[in-house]
């Protein structure tokens, strides 16, 4: 699911937030300029950047024997989960991992 006009996302001091993106969904933010995640210790949604510099988010799924679950889990294995993020497109060095 693409959110074409979302440029800024702040998730701060949400200790009960478990997921931002529902399981099975993959959100893309082509125009994202700023992303901040702070003090969300239970968050299972990960954030990463693709080769076009689009920000993506996916929720971590438990490792299951089913092939689909394994494929989805390996897609986001390098995404940032459960950590504070302070990312801006203007910063020279990205804090978000790149997924190709």
Q: How many structural domains does the chain have?
A: 1
In a domain, 80, yes or no: yes
In a domain, 98, yes or no: no
* Rounded to 5°, angle at Cα 28 from 6 and 10: 45
In a domain, 83, yes or no: yes
Distance from C-alpha of 86 to C-alpha of 75, rounded to nearest angstrom: 22
Q: Which residues of 73-92 are buried (b: 16+ CB within 10 A; e: fewer)?
A: eebbeebbeeeebebeeeee
Task: Yes or no: say if 45 and 81 are a contact pair by the CB < 8 Å rule.
Answer: yes
In a domain, 3, yes or no: no
In a domain, 100, yes or no: no
The pTM of the full predicted model, rounded to 2 decimals, is 0.74
Q: What is the pLDDT along the chain (100 residues), one digit of tens a residue?
A: 999 999 999 999 999 999 998 888 899 999 999 999 999 999 989 899 888 889 999 887 755 544 444 444 445 555 666 678 888 888 755 677 776 5
Q: Which domain holds residue 28?
A: 8-88
In a domain, 99, yes or no: no
């Amino acid at each position: 699911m693409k959110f074409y006009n979302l440029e800024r996302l702040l998730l701060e001091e949400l200790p009960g937030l478990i997921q931002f993106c529902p399981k099975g969904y993959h959100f893309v933010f082509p125009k994202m300029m700023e992303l901040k995640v702070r003090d969300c210790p239970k968050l299972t949604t990960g954030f990463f950047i693709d080769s076009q510099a689009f920000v993506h988010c996916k929720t971590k799924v438990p490792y299951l024997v089913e092939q689909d679950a394994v494929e989805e889990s390996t897609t986001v294995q390098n995404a940032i989960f459960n950590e504070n993020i302070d990312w801006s497109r203007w910063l020279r060095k990205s804090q978000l991992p790149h997924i190709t």
